[in-house]
Amino acid sequence: MLDHITSNDGTTIGFWRSGSGPPLLLVHGTTADHRRWSRIAPGLEAHFCVYTMDRRGRGESGDAPAYELRREAEDVAAVVEAVGEPVFVLAHSYGAVCSLEAARLTDKIGRLILYEPPIPTGLPQYPPDIPARMQQRLDQGEQEAALEIFMREIVRMPEHELAVYRQLPMWSGRIQLAPTIPREIMLDQTYQFDPNLFTTLQTPTLLLLGGDSPPLFERAIQRLDTTLPNSRVVILPGQQHVAMDTSPELFVSEVLNFLLVRG
């Protein structure tokens, strides 16, 4: 069922509800919308009332002239608050950064799962000219080429996985969302993670890391695990940045192991 709420700056945020049980909000990353969770949603809906949101600038959600990470965090917090009871949050990549920041804005997040948020670590992330190169492609009407730059040079998706991705139904949707990528990359390049803001965050937090993911994600998870007082790390063997697609059964199993813990 589709519903909408109004975020702090007046932007409308759309979200869907399905399944039954404790509330679980899924927050997608860059180049995606609420549909990115389609492969694992059935396995979660058997245990939870699942909320899947469109982050601002896509689908059923509106946008604003100025783009800020705080606004994205406010959107996540607004959906959490709208549920009206403690909510589990599962977030991926850039959406995990938004959700981590949202945890400072609401006390209604019961448990938090962050899958490879691109927290700055001092390691080179990607060439700084990527947003400009992507924007050039977009200005030329080459949205798929812009998306491929993102997948190859930022996600660092192997060519065999990229070939599989191109055949999935969601690929066309990602092409349509390519214009939202440069602004998120530029913000990610300037994001300053301040550990002091999170050392008192007592929310139980699971940090997911692909066993074959690039060092920058491993370092980011290590930094978060050192910072957060109530966190633990789970490695997904043989996986990289999109285990919900490449190994959905493994991914759901680890989510359930963490969220269904009693007490």
The domain ranges of the chain are 2-124+194-259
Distances (CA, A) of 253 to 44, 62, 83, 116, 256: 10, 34, 25, 17, 5
Q: Which residue in 73, 72, 95 sits closest to 26, CA to CA?
A: 95
Tokens linked to 117: 């948020």
CATH number of 2-124+194-259: 3.40.50.1820
Q: DSSP 3-state assignment of 22?
A: coil
Does the pLDDT of residue 174 top 80, yes or no?
Answer: yes
Residue type, 184: E
- The predicted model scores a pTM of 0.93
User: 40-44, 134-138, 181-185: which has the minimum mean pLDDT?
Assistant: 181-185
Per-residue model confidence (pLDDT) at position 210: 97
Mean pLDDT of 168-177: 88
> First-to-last CA distance in the chain?
31
| pLDDT > 70: percent of the chain | 98
H or E stretch at 6: strand 2-6
What backbone phi and psi angles, to 5 degrees, belong to 49?
A: -85, 105
Q: What is the pLDDT of residues 111-160, one digit of tens each?
A: 999 999 999 887 767 788 888 999 999 999 999 999 999 999 888 888 98
Rg (CA), the chain: 17
* CB-side neighbour CA atoms (13 Å) of 211: 10
Per-residue model confidence (pLDDT) at position 263: 47
Mean pLDDT taken over the chain: 93
CB contact at 8 A, 39 and 10: no
